[in-house]
Amino acid sequence: MKFEYPTYNLASTKTLLMLTGLLFVLFSLSYSPASQAQKSNSGFLDFNLYPHLTDVENDSVFTLNAAAKLQNRFSYFSLLNLYNQEGSSAGDTTSYYTEQNLRWQITELSPFDLTMQLNFRTGEDNDRYRFGIRWRLNDTAFLQDFFSQAHIRYAINLHAIQFDHEEGSVWQLEHSLMIKFPYISNRLYLSAFADHTFNQNLPANLPRNPIVAEAQLGYELFKHFYLISEYRINQYRRSDVNNLAIGLQYKVIF
């Protein structure tokens, strides 16, 4: 497998530099003494490499997820995907997609967060800025026992307001899920997300309200290293909607 340095246009490079700076600032805040006094394990980084793609060669070959608890009920989550160039061999990554999420818990015990998402990708005039509210069902008082016994964390994020270059009022429902299986193995997990977008002006050959979803099954081979299998659905693709990726994950918890 040959990996080459990705070639981005100037606008994309500036965007990546801005995101790197934002990530540095947020993690610096998370490492402040006040924050560490509240909770020592305040976040994670996980690096996912997918050397094998079954159906769509120009799909994501690398993903970086990051999360941190910040001061004053703020939290941060981001993902960065790097993609193969269409028609190239695996590893020639020339495009990217990223989501930067800043969340604020409404009260100390509330299961609701106000959210802001910055959404960037390769190209021009395609950035998105989303604002909404997130409901953590597993942290909801009358549902906590059920989700705790089932070892499930589940949240719904309503991106009610979206600013972008498109006409109309686009909005989105984002689902996120994590399941542990202690009755089988403490090393096994299933994580998933589904983004369901509404009221978007799309070509006639695409679904009216398209879905992008992923389900990742992971098994810890040894400390912090996981074997992962990821099933993907992307209804924005006119063909090859489904894809299966197999790879490795390295996780850093702090």
pTM: 0.82
Whose CA is closest to 254, among 78, 41, 36?
Answer: 41
Q: Where are the alpha helices (DSSP H) in 31-111?
A: 33-38
* Assigned CATH topology for domain 10-253: Porin (2.40.160)
109 φ, ψ (degrees, to nearest 5): -110, 5
Instruction: Name 113's bridge partners.
Output: 105, 134
pLDDT in the model for residue 6? 39
CB distance 228 to 218 below 8 Å: yes
> Using CA atoms, how far apart are residues 140 and 110, in angstroms rounded to an integer?
8
pLDDT at 124: 84
Could you give the CA distance from residue 106 to residue 253 in angstroms, rounded to a whole number? Answer: 26
Q: What pLDDT was estimated at residue 18? A: 54
CA pair distance 40, 32, nearest whole angstrom: 11
What pLDDT is stored for residue 125 in this prediction? Answer: 82
- Classified as helix, coil or strand, 39 is coil
Residuewise pLDDT in 10s, the chain (254 residues): 333 333 334 444 445 555 555 555 555 554 545 444 445 458 999 999 999 999 988 899 999 999 999 999 999 999 999 998 765 554 455 799 999 999 999 999 999 999 999 999 998 888 999 999 999 999 999 999 999 999 999 999 999 999 998 877 999 999 999 999 999 999 999 999 999 999 999 999 999 999 999 999 999 999 999 999 999 999 998 888 999 999 999 999 98
Q: Are strands 225-234 and 211-222 parallel, antiparallel or unpaired?
A: antiparallel
